[in-house]
Structures are given as C-alpha cells and as structure tokens.
Amino acid sequence: MRPTTDALIIVDVQNDFCPGGALEVPEGDAVVPAINALMDDFAVIVLTQDWHPPRHGSFASEHPGRAPMETVQMPYGEQVLWPDHCIQGSRGAAFHPDLRTDPAQLVIRKGFRPAIDSYSAFFENDHTTRTGLEGYLRERGVERLTVAGLATDFCVKFSALDAARLGFEVTVPEHACRGIDLDGSLAAARDEMRGAGVVLAP
C-alpha cells in the first residue's frame, strides 16, 4: 500500500465511454480490470463522473447544422461537439458495472453547468472555475497523483496537465487508460503530458 501522500484519480469510467455507449472510446472497458487492480495499492482514491444536464452546450444536438466531432468557438475557447452523453442519472452516466467503486472516498461530478464543458477533474474548460478537487487533496495531505481512465486524450490529459501545473507529481499509467484519438489527438496528448513533466508509465 502506498503512503497517504499518494492518490489514485480515476477519470470517467462510465458506460457511455465504453463499447456500446453514446461516446464510446475504443476498448474503453479494458481499463476496468487494470484500475480495479490499481485500487489495492492506494489509500486515497477519487472517482470522477462526467455529469451533464440534458441539452448541455457541448452536445452537437444543441448546435443546429453541426455534427458530433466538429469544433466550435465558445466564450471560453474551442470546444469539440460531442454526441449527447453522460446525462445526469442515466444508465450511460453510471460507472461501468464492473468498476470497483467501494474503495473510493470521493466522487467528483463535472460538466454540470449547461454552458461550459469540464474535461479536467480540477477546472472547467474556462481553466478558472474549480471543481474543489485540489482543496480536497491538499486537505488530505496528498502530493503525488496517479491519473487513469477515459479518455486519455481528453479528460485524463486535462486532469494530468492541471495537476502538474498545480504542483502535484503526476503519473499516467497507460495500461489503465484508453483514448478517443480524433485526428492524432492521442499522440499530441502524450507529447503534451510529457512536456508538462507528467510521467507516462506502461
């Protein structure tokens, strides 16, 4: 067991990001056994859950004439438009049924403000509005984070980059992550994370 200065942050292992879901990540469900095993090593465990109201501003269905995976300009910057996904209380928003959730002490829900998306576990996409996770981790004395889950090139990446910027030591175990890979976004995400001092582990 690692010391209580280490935390495991498990990002968005939800039905909609797994095969058959509304925004499926290829092999998304393959992270479940890997993450379940990782949980045995950590005393501090946090789950995040993408948690959108119906008609969320990141949904292509809210942008007439636009299709999923297109990009639009929002007041806070560029936004990829997604299929409707992870609607609060829906089966798609639930954690994968095989994910162990009992060992987690905190679930951070994000993306609940209709007009702004939230990829990172720490900040919304305006990079200013906080989720509260940093304060929680600091109050528990956490200094090092292992960030795993879905999707490597979106919510895992933004969470890892924000964590590194906030001064945490960050490792991303790639066997416990899968990516969406839109136009090379997976390779770019790996470069960005490495460039920010995030350790990519096998």
Residue 150 contact, options ligand VGL, Zn ion, none, Cβ 5-8 Å cut-off depending on partner type: ligand VGL
Is residue 157 part of the annotated active site? The answer reads: no
Residue of 50, 86, 110, 157 marked catalytic: 110
Is residue 110 part of the annotated active site? The answer reads: yes
Is residue 155 part of the annotated active site? The answer reads: yes
Q: Determine how many CB atoms are found less than 10 A away from the CB of residue 45.
A: 21
Q: Which region, judged by CB under 5 A, interacts with Zn ion, from 43-51, 142-150, 164-172, 187-195?
A: 43-51
Binding residues for ligand VGL, per CB under 6 A?
Answer: 12, 17, 50, 82, 119, 150-151, 154-155
For residue 86, the minimal CB distance to Zn ion (Å) is: 5
Residue 168 contact, options Zn ion, ligand VGL, none, Cβ 5-8 Å cut-off depending on partner type: none
* Choice from 24, 50, 84, 162 touching Zn ion (CB under 5 A): 50
Measured at the CA of 88, the angle between CA 29 and CA 175, to 5 degrees, comes to: 20
φ, ψ for residue 27, nearest 5 deg: 60, 25
